Structure 1
Amino acid sequence: MGKLANKTAVVTGASSGIGAAISKVLASEGANVVLAARRVDKLREAEQEINRNGSGKALAVQADISKRADAENVIKQADEAFGSVDILVNNAGQMLTGTVQSGKVDEWEQMIDVNIKGVLYGINAVLPSMIERSSGHIINIASVSGLEVTKMSTVYSATKFAVRAISTGLEKELARTGVRVTNISPGMVDTRLSGGFGDRKKLEADDIANAVVYALTQPGYVNVNEITVRPV
């Protein structure tokens, strides 16, 4: 029996990359996983693979988590399919033009809507039940760009600084409630988002998935607040 047997997890941005890797690893540890993303074809592929190979079951729910109603529907579908949500992994993210000088306001708004509002909408939908049960774990996938800013990443870094701030503040809000919060900041990971960054060594998506499992499987009295994962 896996370390996460009888748990239910929701993973956003689960159609590819880090989100897909997290979903597969959680299912391999016995969790039932609700996969949320906009690209329904890729979601179905991930759902079928998990149901074919995982210890836990998977359910694909098409959603744009920058929309509050969609975020709430994902949690509703998870509750109806598997019972209460034990784990929320806020992984969905947008990395677009990051400079202020570019003047690409539409791209800034996309990053703010997905990277910040999407995180808050998911937390808002799942938190009351977790507090009521005195149990649950929220994992926010931030970025090393939330620790360091380059001249090309100003706006993107601002959104990831915000994710870290939300994680830090929420952990304090939820002290002694039984609900844990972990912020994970990956370095450059070999996914479609990193395609334009040359030949530098990159992490694998599974490296981040393994960090998620590490945080989730600590004893109940241990809250792993922050993990930074960088390539050597």
Structure 2
Amino acid sequence: MTKKVVVITGASSGIGEATAKKLAAAGNQLVLGARRESRLQEIVAAIEQAGGEAVYAVTDVTSSDSVKALAQKAVDTYGRIDVWMSNAGLMPQSELIQGRTEDWDQMIDVNIKGVLYGIAAALPIMRAQKSGQFINTASVAGHAVHPASSVYSATKYAVRAISEGLRQEEAIAGSNVRVTVVSPGMVATELTNHITDAATKDRLEHAWADNAISPEEIADSILFAVNLPENTSMNELVIRPTSQK
């Protein structure tokens, strides 16, 4: 396998952390972005202790400049970007009648703009290289809407729409840039921590406790998609617990 430079946002826990460790163990060079510097330091140390390579940059995906700085960190350190994984996400679900506009704004800023800012930062680099791969984390909520999930689902449908548009544009451009959408179901991460509505939080935490799979299960699938030959693109992975309806 060719060593790749992989940038991951939302890398301080959950799927981002698991994927970083999995890809580093496979011999890739990792560049990790998230807001919590202490967690990034711990993960980089763990990767290095296991014999892998990783660096980090404190990153706020709601800031275009911050995301561009993460891309620059990758180029300055390793000279290129082969994979950009936009994984940062929030899920403060609630019914629309509650009017939790601050939660809506946060989801739009992180879940949609964060993906767009990643594309803006990394795509010119990949175009110049004539190769690259975007991995954008959506959700099974981007395939179906349920009560209290309206805005969250909208952001994840948007991730799928943006990713499909990017895929088609890069195919036309002949850039050899691949696009993969990962749509997880219930995964044992910090995602439910962001829910501000008590009733929704209680309901979903019980569902997660009964069904959630580990983030390592998602990381295994991402590693598979990354390792496919460059002329083959795994465009979407929908991964949920077998017990999830």
How high is the TM-score relative to the length of structure 2? 0.90
Q: Is the 8 A contact 1:78 1:84 kept in 2?
A: yes
Consecutive unaligned residues of structure 2, counting only runs of 5 or more, are: 194-203
Shift of 1:201: 1.3
For residues 27-106 of structure 1, what are the structure 2 equivalents within 5 Å?
27-55=24-52, 57-106=53-102
SS of equivalent residue, structure 2 residue 98: coil
How far apart, in 2, do the equivalents of 1:126 and 1:98 lie? 33
How far apart, in 1, do the equivalents of 2:16 and 2:22 lie? 10
The equivalent residue for 1:135 is 131
Render the CA deviation track for 1:132-167: whole Å, top value 9, x for unaligned: 211001000100000011101100000000001011
SS of equivalent residue, structure 1 residue 197: helix
How far apart, in 2, do the equivalents of 1:157 and 1:174 lie? 26
Whichever residue aligns with residue 217 of structure 1, its letter is: N
Shift of 1:99: 2.6
For residues 167-206 of structure 1, what are the structure 2 equivalents within 5 Å?
167-175=163-171, 176-194=174-192, 196-198=204-206, 199-206=209-216
**Normalized per residue, which structure has more helix?**
2
SS of equivalent residue, structure 1 residue 139: strand
The equivalent residue for 1:224 is 234
Shift of 1:180: 0.3
User: Identity percentage over the alignment?
Assistant: 43
Consecutive unaligned residues of structure 1, counting only runs of 5 or more, are: none
Q: Is the 8 A contact 1:34 1:78 kept in 2?
A: yes
The equivalent residue for 1:25 is 22
Aligned length: 228
Q: Is the 8 A contact 1:66 1:113 kept in 2?
A: yes
Q: Is the 8 A contact 1:146 1:164 kept in 2?
A: yes
Render the CA deviation track for 1:158-183: whole Å, top value 9, x for unaligned: 00000010111111011032000000
Render the CA deviation track for 1:10-52: whole Å, top value 9, x for unaligned: 0000001110001001101111101100011111100110111
How far apart, in 1, do the equivalents of 2:176 and 2:63 lie? 28
The equivalent residue for 2:196 is none
Question: What's the RMSD between the two structures over aligned residues?
Answer: 1.1
How far apart, in 1, do the equivalents of 2:51 and 2:61 lie? 25
> Would you identify which runs of 4 or more consecutive aligned residues in structure 1 move more than 2 Å?
194-197
Q: Is the 8 A contact 1:188 1:194 kept in 2?
A: no
The equivalent residue for 1:121 is 117
Equivalent residue for 1:146, pick from 133, 142, 156: 142
Whichever residue aligns with residue 41 of structure 2, its letter is: R
Q: Is the 8 A contact 1:98 1:156 kept in 2?
A: no
How far apart, in 1, do the equivalents of 2:101 and 2:87 lie? 23
Shift of 1:220: 1.6
Query: Bigger shift: 92-101 or 81-90?
Result: 92-101
How far apart, in 1, do the equivalents of 2:10 and 2:78 lie? 20
How far apart, in 2, do the equivalents of 1:27 and 1:48 lie? 12
Q: Is the 8 A contact 2:92 2:192 kept in 1?
A: no
How far apart, in 1, do the equivalents of 2:70 and 2:229 lie? 28
Render the CA deviation track for 1:54-88: whole Å, top value 9, x for unaligned: 43x11111011111010000001111011111100
